[in-house]
Structures are given as C-alpha cells and as structure tokens.
Amino acid sequence: MTAARTVIPPATKGQPAGPALRRWPPLLAGVLAWAATAALIGLLGYTAIRHPPYLTDLRVYRTAGRDVLAGRPVYRPVPRARLASLGRSYLVFTYPPFAALLAVPLALVSWRAAEIAWIPVVYGSLAIVVRLAFAPLLAAAGRWRAAAFGAVTGACALMWPLLQEIRFGQVDMALAALCTLDVATRRPRWPRGLLVGLATAIKLTPGAFLAYLLITGRRRAALTAAAAAGGATLAAWALLPSASAFYWSTALWHTRRLGRPGQVSDQSIQAMLIRAFAPAPVPRALWLLLALAAAAAGLAAARAASRRGNEMAAIAIVGLASVLASPVSWIHHIVWVVVAAGAILSDGRRAWRWLAALATADFFVFYDPYALRRTWWSGYAPHLIAQVRRDAYGIASAVLIAVLAALPRAASRGGPAPAGRESAPPPPSGPAPGCSTAPDGSAPAVARGPGARDRPPGPR
C-alpha cells in the first residue's frame, strides 16, 4: 500500500493574497497618516514659536514658576491705569496657586526648552481625547484604525480652538484630556474623580464635572474629585500661604485680570451681552440669570445624555456649557468641540452622522472669527449680521449642546462605557449563589454586591 499524498495546487492568478500581504495596505496607510500629522504638528509648533503671540500664556505660567522659586508675589497687582483697558498685551497669572506650583518645572529649564516641551503637551493631550471621543469609529475601522486615528488627530489640530491653543501656549487641551480620561475610562486604574479634582485645582472651570458626577449618581467619584481638589488646594496653601490668601480673597473676584471683556476672542455669554449692549453697560442680573440658566440646562442635558448611554455627548455638553457660563471664555477654551465631533460621529454607520460631524469640523476649521474686522466691507455690514458673526463660536457652542442633547443612543462598539456603570458579564440563567427563588416562582432576588450603591441605574 502506498500512502496517499495531498497535492497542494500552486497559487493561481486572481486568488486572494495571503494574510501577510493583506496587512501591508493598512500598515502603510497608518504610517503615512501619522507621518503627515507629525509634520503638521511640527509646522504648527514652529509657527507658534517663531511668530506672534509667541506662546504668551506659557510665558505667564513660566513667570509664575520663577516667582515661586524666587519667593516673589505670584499674583502681581495690575496698575489701575491699565485696568480700564486691560487686554492680552498685559497678562498676569490668574490660575489658582496649585497651578503656580506645577509651573515650577517650566522655570527650571530655558525658555526655548519650555517652548519645545509644550508642543507634545498640547498634541499628546489632543491624541488622548481623540482616542476616547472617536473610540467607536476607530473600532469600526478595524485594521485601518491607525490610519483613521492619525487622520482624525491631524484634522482636529486644524480647528481654530486648537490653533489658538498652541499659539498662546495654553493648558485647556490638557485639562480636557484629564476630565475626559477620568469620566470616560471603563475601569480606571486610579480612583475615579481624582483627575477631575486635580484639573479643578489647576483651573476652576473643570469643577463643572464634579457637579456632573454628582447629578449622575456617582457620589463616590464626586467625593474623590472634591477631596483631590481640596487636598491640592490645601497643599498649595501650606507652601504658598500669602499667595493663596490673596488669590482666594482678592484675585479670584477681579475678573478684569482675565482680560478685557467683550473682545471677539471672548465667546462667553457675558461677552456676547457686552457686544450687544455696547456702549451701554450690561445689567449684571441679566448675565447672572443667563449664565445660571446655561449651566443648569447644560447639566440637565448632560444627565439625560448619560442616562441614554451617550457619555461622550454628556462630556462635551458639560465642557461647552462651562465655556458659555464662565465670565470670560477665550476661543481656545472651546477645545471641547473635539469631544463633540466624536460624539456626533459615533461609529460612522449613519450618513447623517457623517454630515453633522463634518459640518461641525468644517465650521471650526474654516470660519475665521477675526475676518469681519479685517474686511473692507466691515463698516457696511448690518449690525445684526456683524453681531452674529462676532458671536459665532459662542452661538455654535449653544447649537452643539442642543444637537448633542438630541442624539439617539450611541453605539457601544469599542466606545467607553459610561463611568460608574462598568460592564459586567451577563447574569446566569439560574439562581445565582446567595439568591433565592421567590415562593411564587417569580424571578430570584439578586443580592447586591459591594459598591452597588455607587452604580446609577441603567438606561430606562
């Protein structure tokens, strides 16, 4: 007997390529996408370093760090003559004392080293936010995930808030990354709420996420955030007692230290009212009423979005609502548009999501908020049209909140689970250990495990 031999026919023309060959196109596309994004980031960083305004806010942070090391007052008084027309040409440190302590490393290196180091801080934070906000899309991309990740990161870097972020050397993208990472991570390796608390100690506006954690039933995370913010503030007070006393008693309440309100760069509700009422003063009660209404409506919309499973939409709503309600909100504060675009696009399986996300990105990439004052026909534009154009980013933020609040339930594939509602394996069909079947044969009563009280109810 002769053993039968298996004859393997040679590969013929037209047959599909092997698995190794099929891996090359996505790999090559990913390398090219990230190479193009890296080149774009390098160009934007070089432009920020070599052209005005020369990362002026980063220079303010570094000066605060140098003041801490030298024992000088961190919160320098603003001359009374300049208070009446305070603009971005005269900048003072306005963040809490804990932020001044974090600025000390910038004072230990040269100015050029600080400039170069800030580029990965901004764009590394952007990559973190893109990875979280566009997680369903990246999961749906499959083998093309790296290419999609690089392309989306590069596209977001071209948005006006991000361009302003690197030009001024701001910290908003890093704070957005801290808050998004803390709220959206499925199973964080740190106590949830810790990053939100630290972000709040650096700048007060992330404190809106503390309220968001509280109203969505994540009390333990909210307490952790409050403890982290309080602990960082007390540590700063112990190290900088005079600066802390001056900030919390005086500097915090002088909003004119933030800059001249009413500039086109300011897109808060107060700034829009100032431009609308000019030259008359704005009734303070009106601004307080509208700011509180925006904050309350934003938190209510975020809570509803979270209960529907749209955690990214909820995060974007809280961030955008804090921009509108703050006394002063510069354009680079609106970095939350990155989270909003990711929440709108979701996994990209619906054409209307693509249209809405592309419209959002196109507006924030191509609309120049300063174009109106540079055109020859600026003086002839009707007042209402000119007003809308000056307030365009603030109006767009309010429209985005409405759009995000109306989104249907988000796709869960590859996306982050709502914080506080960790994914768990499906329950067994029979009675679980520690459960007993009711006498009437109805469903067993499941015993609540440890920590169940911190888990808010699921979507109803």
The per-residue pLDDT for range 159-200, each reduced to its tens digit, is 999 999 999 999 999 999 999 999 999 999 999 999 999 999
pLDDT band at 387 (very low <50, low <70, confident <90, very high): confident
pLDDT band at 91 (very low <50, low <70, confident <90, very high): confident
b/e code 194-231 from CB counts within 10 Å (16+ = b): bbbbbbbbbbebbbbbbbbbbebbbebbbbbbbebbee
Question: So what's the pLDDT on residue 435?
Answer: 42
Look at the chain and count its residues: 460
3-state secondary structure of 330: strand
- Angstrom distance (rounded) from CA 412 to CA 154: 25
- Residue 169 makes CB contacts below 8 A (sequence gap 6+) with 48, 55, 56, 57, 58, 59, 61, 115, 118
Q: How far apart are the first and last CA of the chain?
A: 71
If you average pLDDT over residues 3-14, what whole number do you get?
Answer: 50
If you average pLDDT over residues 253-261, what whole number do you get?
Answer: 75
- Angstrom distance (rounded) from CA 249 to CA 246: 5
Question: So what's the pLDDT on residue 18?
Answer: 61
Question: What is the percentage of the chain residues whose pLDDT exceeds 70?
Answer: 79
The pair of structure tokens assigned to 421 is 């509602």
* Choice among 13-27, 163-177, 180-194, 387-401 with the minimum mean pLDDT: 13-27
Checking if the pLDDT of 449 tops 70, the result is: no
Mean of pLDDT over the chain? 85
Question: So what's the pLDDT on residue 381?
Answer: 63
Instruction: Provide φ and ψ at 99, rounded to 5°.
Output: -65, -35
Checking if the pLDDT of 153 tops 90, the result is: yes
Segment 213-249, tens digit of pLDDT: 999 999 999 999 999 999 999 999 999 999 999 999 9
Checking if the pLDDT of 441 tops 90, the result is: no
pLDDT band at 81 (very low <50, low <70, confident <90, very high): very low
Question: So what's the pLDDT on residue 10?
Answer: 52
More confident residue, 368 or 18: 368
Nearest by Cα to 159 from 340, 390, 310 = 340
- Angstrom distance (rounded) from CA 456 to CA 450: 14
Segment 197-212, tens digit of pLDDT: 999 999 999 999 999 9
> Are the C-beta atoms of 404 and 303 separated by less than 8 Å?
no
Checking if the pLDDT of 132 tops 80, the result is: yes
b/e code 252-283 from CB counts within 10 Å (16+ = b): eeeeebbbbbbbbbbbbbbbbbbbeeeeeebe
Question: What is the percentage of the chain residues whose pLDDT exceeds 90?
Answer: 70
CA 420 to chain CA mean position, Å: 19
> Are the C-beta atoms of 209 and 192 separated by less than 8 Å?
no
> Are the C-beta atoms of 404 and 316 separated by less than 8 Å?
yes
Question: So what's the pLDDT on residue 258?
Answer: 74
Question: So what's the pLDDT on residue 431?
Answer: 43
pLDDT band at 32 (very low <50, low <70, confident <90, very high): very high
* Choice among 88-97, 131-140, 286-295 with the minimum mean pLDDT: 88-97
Instruction: Provide φ and ψ at 436, rounded to 5°.
Output: -130, 145
Question: So what's the pLDDT on residue 209?
Answer: 98
Checking if the pLDDT of 5 tops 60, the result is: no
Segment 35-69, tens digit of pLDDT: 999 999 999 999 999 998 889 999 999 999 999 99
3-state helix, strand, coil split of the chain in percent (to 5) is: 65, 0, 35
> Are the C-beta atoms of 201 and 229 separated by less than 8 Å?
yes
